[in-house]
Amino acid sequence: MTTDTPAEMFFERLTRWPKTIILLGLLLIVATGSFIPTLQKDTRSDAFMPPDHPALVYRDKVQEIFGLKDPMVIAVVNDGEHGIFNPQSLTLVAWLSLELEEIANIDPNRITSLATENDVIGTEDGMLVEPFFEETPTTQQEADAIRIAVMDFPLFVGSIAARDGSATLIVAELEDQAAAQTTYQALLELVERAPKGAGDTIHVAGEGAVSGYMGAYIDADAKRLNPFAALVITFVLFIAFRTLRGALLPNLVVLGTVASALGLMAAFGVPFFVITNALPVVLIGIAVADSIHIMSQYYEEVAQHPKANSQQLAVQAMVKMWRPITLTTLTTMAGFLGLSIASIMPPMEYFGIFAMVGVAVAWLYSMTVVPAFLTLLKPGQSRAFQSNTASSNHKGSDKFGQMMSYLGRFVIKRPGVVLTIGAVVIISGIVGATKLELNEARITIFQKDEAIVKADHAINSNLDGAHYLDIVIETPNIEDLFKPQHLQQIEALQDYVTTLPHVNGSTSIVDYLKQMNRALNSDDKAAYQLPDNAEMVAQQFLLYSASGDPSDFEKEVDYDYRLANVRVRLDSGLYSVEKAVVEAVEYYLETNFNAIDIKTSGIRASLSGRVNIDYHWIKSLGDSHFYSVAISLLLVMAMAALSMRSAVAGFITVIPVAVSVLLIYAVMGFTNIWLAIGTSMFAAIAIGLGVDFSVHTIERLQVLIKKGGRSIDEAITELYPSTGRALLFNFAALTLGFGVLTTSEVVPLMRFGALVAVAVTSSFIASMTILPALIKVLKPRFIGLEKTE
Amino acid sequence: MKKIDITATLTLILIMPMTFAATLPSGDEIANNINARDEGVSVSRMVVMEMTDKRGKQRIRKTRGFRKYFGDEKRTVIYYLTPKNVKDTAFMTYDYADASIDDDQWLYLPAMRKVRRISASDRGDYFLGTDFTYEEIKNETRVSIEDYTRKTIGEAIIDGHRTFIIESTPVDKATAKELGYSKVKQWIDAKIWMARKTEFTSLRNKRLKTTYTREIKQVQGIWTAHLLTVENHKTGHSTKFSFSEVDYQTPISDDLFTARAMRRGL
């Protein structure tokens, strides 16, 4: 070390102005951090789809025609003898329906309940369209009469009123989905002061409510998780170095990293999505990794050269560490780049991009601010590293160093055993991966005892369900929907749809026409069928308008009777259920509607609604998951290969992470954890993070063998107490950081945290076992061994 | 008229609204003038009903309507001419002077070849898919004296004509609920006693509807509006009635207002 290498020169120059560098670092934190308050939250599930996705674009078009926004659904449940058909419960329904109109963001024209809907009744010589109750009932007899009327109107049975009369819904559409959180709070307050009778329970659910609930839920979660993660990591740092600077300096890097990543998100107007909650924790884990290695090296230098000055120590630590740190930064960024490229979902794309930004900033701070600080501070020893000087033979005789040394000896003695275990993990991982189930249900985001989960259960078990699939029927000409053949085709479609599992009912203009036809034929049950000529249909609508509202059929048919909507009700929001239904209906439409020439049939149909959106969304999640794993692995491999100028090196580098990802697949496959929104991200992140361990291991072995001229066994022995020990704390910081996520209330985040923690653990173990064993057995050329050895 | 000091007038307006009101006809006077206007014993006319939803899609229906007073009782029949699939559909109403007796309504559906009696509509119900309520259709350009208390609140120029502004409030809650309004503000032409503009306020005190009465011309000596428009601010739906071939003189047979006549058609 007599001649100055370029690296030495660089860090010497850099550390000449430590104060300036620290000041610049702090300024960057303040500058980027100042944007954070402007971050916007976006908890809509639509946010997970690219805004130009055809399913989303079509849904918006349909929404424009029929209204049909994601609703808030209020359920009134009464387990009493008469169910909700008692004067008090019905009064409550009327009260809620009326009060809802006053709530901001609720569309007053789009409130549907027993108190707002009209009954269509046949009389001896005519037809009656009138509300189920104009005045709220005061006696049980009146309530009984209402029950009879409702149960005699097939359209409302199951959709608005439970078949057994135990529950009824008030469905209210939102004007602006983005303001769901405030509206949801307003609804809860309304429910709180609602005049409940004996036995009445009120639930608030629906897609609107889920978004609304999620906002508050995530806020509370983030406020708890992030400080907790920082605390846990500081604790790990303190154990590792047992000095104040060792515990605090990496935290400065954390601050810079999180501030720039989130600040830049805010500055670019990227919203804070549900999964963005995991970003700070991921960044905290990444940010400390670089400084753990620098600090470890620094304390080793202090122990070895007690007389050196601050600047020399800092420079020497950096000279040894800049290469592995830069390498791991590049490979980690490659991992996140893979996530960003492969995902079509904006939240994940942005997650990848801003995690990359964070990793880069963490590198920048570790390369500049950390040595600057170390130069400024007096050389300080760490008790954890003191013992290193005592016996040069047995480095790292602190407990952690010793622990790692034992592991090293085992690997040297039994490489075959290590590799066999590795092979078993790989095989079981592949088996587990085949058992992986792609599935998701929005409601599983919440803990089971949350009010929203209970509400969802109450609605989907008592009624037909509040998960909607919309089938839009399109005819070429105005008033084509009066034609009986078209109506019959819709009727057949509805008949078919209700045979599908979890589909309990559907509503379309056909149901109203049948009801009117029956009413016009003196309420003869046999007349519950479609009229047989277009004139009759047109005249029935006219007849209805004699007492109905002009906007009454807005949800079912467009104003010039060319487009109709069939709303299908499912009692489950599970992807596997939605998939089965959507695919079956798509096939039906393909064969019965769209395959036939439009000129002869004149009718087409397409899918829309929340269920269809979910289907496309989750389906793309499955596709993009394996794609992102492949891309991340390839990018990481390419990056490692390039920087070590060896394809074999690249390949060997990704083995530990590949093993860890396969192990997670095995865990998921065998314990039935779904591949879902939260869990699907684990792999790319685990690859980006886990690869650090193998990069550090390989880099150090390379240095020890190539430059230090050690034999393979000597190199491995030396690797464990130094690099191995640093990696142990790197791993501890990451695992405990992600471990914090397992305390999250948001279930997918909890699973995500657990999976990444397990993945990081296994890639650490693999890097410390399989990797050295493999190198010992294969003796690859890039590591610098003489073939003859 | 004596020249009045402006400051004094303003003071009077501020302090004693009654004094000001005295300079304009009272609400009841105006209402009586409106209802005293000649409407003819009978009328026959073409009415084009144009309904537009909030997205701008339209339904246009051409009808021929007949109305005749039988003493205090008013009978109306409307025949649909277009569109084709509702052609010959007919709608008939008997409005009885005694408000406690429900009106009778029938609809003839040619597709069923049957006259169907429809439930007596509530006064606040919408009329045949339009934004007019039955009450407004029944009153045409008149006002119902006993449902509201009214006061004159000023004057203004509407469509170039001097109008008195009267504000009517339903006499009680039940009436308000029945009619569907908590307040009705009307701009009444000061010369011919016809409302040129009306604003309706919903029961929840929100702006609900605005109607305009336009193309007011004399037909056979009777002031007749040829264009009615109403816009529903809550739903974004709107309705336009255009009248033509208005005839108050050609006698209309009593037999026209029967189920048999409806079946027979025009």
Distance from CA of A60 to the nearest CA of B (A): 14
* Statement: residue B21 has pLDDT above 50: no
Distance from CA of A463 to the nearest CA of B (A): 29
Q: From residue A124, how far is each of A121, A132, A146, A274, A518 by CA, in Å?
A: 10, 19, 20, 58, 12
- Name the token pair of A342: 């492969």
Sign of the CA dihedral with A363 first, then A367, A368, and A373 last: positive
In a domain, B15, yes or no: no
Q: Which of B57, B110, B111 sits opposite A560 (nearest CB)?
A: B57
Q: Name every residue in A having a CB less than 8 A away from some CB of B.
A: 64-65, 101-102, 108-109, 123, 125-130, 134, 479, 482, 520, 531, 533-540, 542-543, 545-551, 554, 558-560
Look up the domain containing B236 and give its range. 25-264
Name the average pLDDT for chain B. 87
Specify the number of domains making up chain B.
1
Q: Are the beta carbons of A551 and B110 separated by less than 8 Å?
A: no
Q: Are the beta carbons of A547 and B118 separated by less than 8 Å?
A: yes
Q: From residue A616, how far is each of A55, A242, A344, A592, B2 by CA, in Å?
A: 7, 52, 11, 22, 81
Alpha carbons B201 and B184: distance in angstroms, whole number: 6
Alpha carbons A675 and B18: distance in angstroms, whole number: 77
Q: What is the pLDDT of residue B10?
A: 53
Q: Which of A64, A534, A549 sits opposite B85 (nearest CB)?
A: A534
- Give contacts of B107 with chain A, Cβ < 8 Å: 126, 542-543, 546
Q: Are the beta carbons of B111 and A539 separated by less than 8 Å?
A: yes
Distance from CA of A522 to the nearest CA of B (A): 11
Q: List, in order, residues 6 or more apart from A698 with CB less than 8 Å away.
A: A640, A644, A649, A652, A653, A771, A775, A783
In a domain, B52, yes or no: yes
Band the pLDDT of B200: cuts 50, 70, 90.
very high
Q: What is the pLDDT of residue A390?
A: 41
Summarize pLDDT for B252-265 with one digit per residue, the tens. Answer: 999 999 999 999 88
CATH number of B73's domain: 2.50.20.10
Distance from CA of A121 to the nearest CA of B (A): 10
Give pLDDT < 50 ranges for chain A: 1-2, 388-396, 787-789
In a domain, B140, yes or no: yes
Strand B104-109, strand B114-118: pairing: antiparallel
Q: Are the beta carbons of B119 and A551 separated by less than 8 Å?
A: no
Summarize pLDDT for A548-601 with one digit per residue, the tens. Answer: 777 788 889 998 899 999 999 999 989 999 999 999 999 999 888 887 665 566
Distance from CA of A116 to the nearest CA of B (A): 13
Tell me if B222 sits within 8 A of B67, measured CB to CB: no
Q: Which residue does chain A place closest to B104, by CA atoms?
A: A126
Summarize pLDDT for B208-228 with one digit per residue, the tens. Answer: 999 999 999 999 999 999 999
In a domain, B131, yes or no: yes
Q: Which of A102, A520, A545 sits opposite B116 (nearest CB)?
A: A520
Three-state SS letters, A303-332: HHCCCCCHHHHHHHHHHHHHHHHHHHHHHH
Phi, then psi, of A221 in degrees rounded to 5: -65, -50
- Give contacts of B126 with chain A, Cβ < 8 Å: 545, 548-550
- Give contacts of A130 with chain B, Cβ < 8 Å: 119
Fold of the A71-205 domain: Alpha-Beta Plaits (3.30.70)
| pLDDT-wise least confident of A351-360, B11-20, B95-104, B217-226 | B11-20
CA A14 from chain centre, in angstroms, equals 42
Q: What is the pLDDT of residue A394?
A: 44
Q: Which of B111, B128, B235 sits opposite A545 (nearest CB)?
A: B128
Q: Are the beta carbons of B237 and A546 separated by less than 8 Å?
A: no
Q: Is the peptide bond before B83 cis (omega within 30 degrees of 0)?
A: yes
Q: Which of B83, B119, B126 sits opposite A549 (nearest CB)?
A: B126
Tell me if B150 sits within 8 A of B168, measured CB to CB: yes
Q: Are the beta carbons of A542 and B204 separated by less than 8 Å?
A: no
Q: Which residue has the higher pLDDT, B198 or A132?
A: B198
Alpha carbons B242 and B46: distance in angstroms, whole number: 8
Q: What is the CATH number of domain A8-38+212-442+615-783?
A: 1.20.1640.10
Q: What is the pLDDT of residue A350?
A: 93
Q: Which of B52, B59, B84, B132 best tests the A interface by mutation, with the highest count of A CBs <10 A? A: B59
Q: Which residues pair with B152 in a beta bridge?
A: B166
Q: Report which of B203, B126, B233, B78 is spatially closest to residue A118, judged by C-alpha positions.
A: B126
Q: Report which of A776, A768, A765 is spatially closest to residue A720, judged by C-alpha positions.
A: A768
Q: Which of A125, A129, A543 sits opposite B109 (nearest CB)?
A: A543
Strands (E), A102-192: 106-112, 118-123, 126-131, 167-174
Strand A167-174, strand A71-78: pairing: antiparallel
In a domain, B19, yes or no: no
Alpha carbons A562 and A554: distance in angstroms, whole number: 12
Distance from CA of B236 to the nearest CA of A (A): 10
Exposure string for B200-209, b = 16+ CB within 10 A, e = fewer: bbbbeeeebb
In a domain, B47, yes or no: yes
